[in-house]
Amino acid sequence: MKIIKLMIFGFAFLMLTSFVSLQEEGYKPLSNPDEFIQKVKAYATATNTIQSNFKQEKHLTMLEEVLISEGHFIFKKKNNVVWSYTRPTDYTIVVHDGKFIIKDGDKVKEFDIASNRMFKEINNMIVTSVSGNFLDNPDFEASYLENDTYYLARLVPLKPEVHEMLSEIDIYLDKKDMQVAKVKFMEPGDDFTLITFSDKILNGPVPDEVFNMAN
């Protein structure tokens, strides 16, 4: 009986803490889902380029460590992305023309996205997260929440190879302009990566040359 009581207490405690955690940020189901969907579609249609600084926090819960990286991010429709890390090391990831290019210091390596399942999935996640292209995406089960500041699109990967790496992707859209303010990649267990965008420029000129690592 004692064990059963303890189990009931433990379960109640878990339920309470997860409820409190969601309530702390004040997220609740959307009051007007149709309006949200229309806004996201309009944003995705109108967004041709994004340029932004970013701060990345890698939370390793077991190790009680947060690794912080910083850099600059560029997106250009339809599928061109640059992640340029400046801290802690110079490291650039480019997705362009079906290729995944990594510049690590002076070394440049090129991978064919289609031939590498992992790169393909990573690319898919990046583009889905930052471009607002998550509506009706068959690779994710989506649920939508909101608080006073953000819309929260919570995506659960359906592909086993992605779900094995990430249990959930949380995309926070600023209610003022519908731009992606932060993205949280949750891993199985408690570890997660939080990327926060700042100093965003929407639809500014982005020449194709920025995706050419030879430059």
Partner 1 sequence: MKYRPVYTLFLSVILLTAGLSSCSYKHYKGFEQVSTENTPIPVVYVSSFTKAVYSTNFKIFGQELSGITMMKKVQSGNTIHVVFMSQIGLKFFDIEIRPEDKENWFHVNYIMESMNREFIISMLKTDFMLLFGQYPKHSEIAAFRQTGSNATETTIRFDKNVASVFSQPTNNQPVKIELRKGCSVKATIQLTPGNNYPENVEINNKRAGLQLEWDEIQM
> Judged by CB under 8 A, how many residues of this single chain contact partner 1?
32
Q: Of 32 and 61, which CB lies nearer to partner 1 in the complex structure? A: 61
Among 44, 28, 22, 33, residue whose Cα is nearest residue 137: 44
Q: Please, which residues have CB within 8 angstroms of residue 13's CB and are 6 or more apart in sequence?
A: none
Q: How far is the CB of 39 from partner 1 (least distance, A)?
A: 27
Nearest in space to 133 (alpha carbons), one of 81, 207, 204: 81
Q: Binding segment for partner 1 among 7-15, 41-49, 73-81, 83-91 (CB under 8 A)?
A: 83-91
- Minimum CB distance to partner 1 smaller for 122 or for 153: 122
> Which of 12, 42, 67, 201 touches partner 1 by CB under 8 A?
67
Q: Looking at residues 90 to 109 of the shown chain, list those that interact with partner 1 (rule: CB under 8 A).
A: 91, 93, 102, 104, 109
72, 159, 187, 196: which one binds partner 1 (CB under 8 A): 187
Contact pick of 3, 5, 89, 148 for partner 1 (by CB under 8 A)? 89
Task: Give, as ranges, the residues between 130 and 169 that touch partner 1 (CB under 8 A).
Answer: 161, 164-166
Q: Is residue 73 within 8 Å of 51, Cβ to Cβ?
A: yes
Indicate the residue among 10 and 188 with the shorter CB distance to partner 1: 188
Q: Using CB under 8 A, which of the segments 12-20, 72-80, 89-97, 140-148 binds partner 1?
A: 89-97
Cβ pair 104, 113 in contact under 8 A: no
Q: Is 114 in the site for partner 1 (CB under 8 A)?
A: no
Residue 190 as a binder of partner 1 (CB under 8 A): the answer is no
Residues contributing to the site for partner 1 (CB under 8 A): 56, 58, 60, 62-63, 65, 67-69, 83, 85, 88-89, 91, 93, 102, 104, 109, 117-118, 122, 126, 161, 164-166, 185, 187-189, 191, 193
